[in-house]
Amino acid sequence: MPLLEDEAPEDPYQLFSKWFGEAMDAGVPQPDAMTLATSGEEGPSARMVLYKGLQNGSFIFYSNYDSRKGRDLAHDRRAALVFYWSATRHQVRVYGTVRKLSREASAEYFATRPRGAQLAALGSPQSRIVRSRAALERRVLDFAATHPHEVPLPRTWGGYALRPVWIEFWENREDRLHDRLRYVLDYKGAWRMERLAP
């Protein structure tokens, strides 16, 4: 289906939600996986993280604040996201600035995670060198014994919200003459749509 200006919604979040829903309906494996690109004192870096929804116009994800991505975002709040769903032939790129969610919001989400995921967040010194897999597993088991009922929110773990400056939608077309529409946020807080050459 062509991605045309006169058929695209004025609100990019509507188009994103439509495409995300189509990816889920198409059975895309892990449709909520997105690439997060950051830059810090160690240079640029990219990795996959899980998209946890839209809140007040921001893309939400969670991570360890002491990880490479956390250190990068403490150094430079600018970041980029990429979603790619091959089954629906769609890609979405997002660029903007990131802020931490409140401790309360992070705790609320953390409480919904499976116990194993909670213990992994507590026990894993993400991005740090560890002696072995066995040592890491022992560390998690120790925390499980220490916290048999409720796992506390780690001091170094929580949510982030990326507020877009622009969002680009790409749709595959024949002969590589793809469609690219970019929504840019102007100084008044309104979205402007523009077409990019493929």
DSSP letter string over 40-98? ETTEEEEEEEE---EETTEEEEEEETTSHHHHHHHH--EEEEEEEETTTTEEEEEEEEE
Q: Tell me which CATH code domain 12-109+157-195 carries.
A: 2.30.110.10
Domains of the chain, by residue range, sit at: 12-109+157-195
- Asked if residue 2 has pLDDT above 80, the reply is no
The tens digit of pLDDT for each residue in 46-104 reads: 999 999 999 999 999 999 999 999 999 999 999 999 999 999 999 999 999 999 999 99
Tell me the whole-structure pTM to 2 decimals.
0.93
Output the pLDDT for position 174: 86
Token readout for 12 is: 């990019």
Give the span between the Cα atoms of 135 and 115, in whole angstroms.
20
CA angle 145, 150, 154 (to 5 degrees): 90
pLDDT digits (tens, 9 = 90+) for 152-179: 999 999 999 999 999 999 999 988 899 9
Q: Give the catalytic positions in this structure.
A: 176
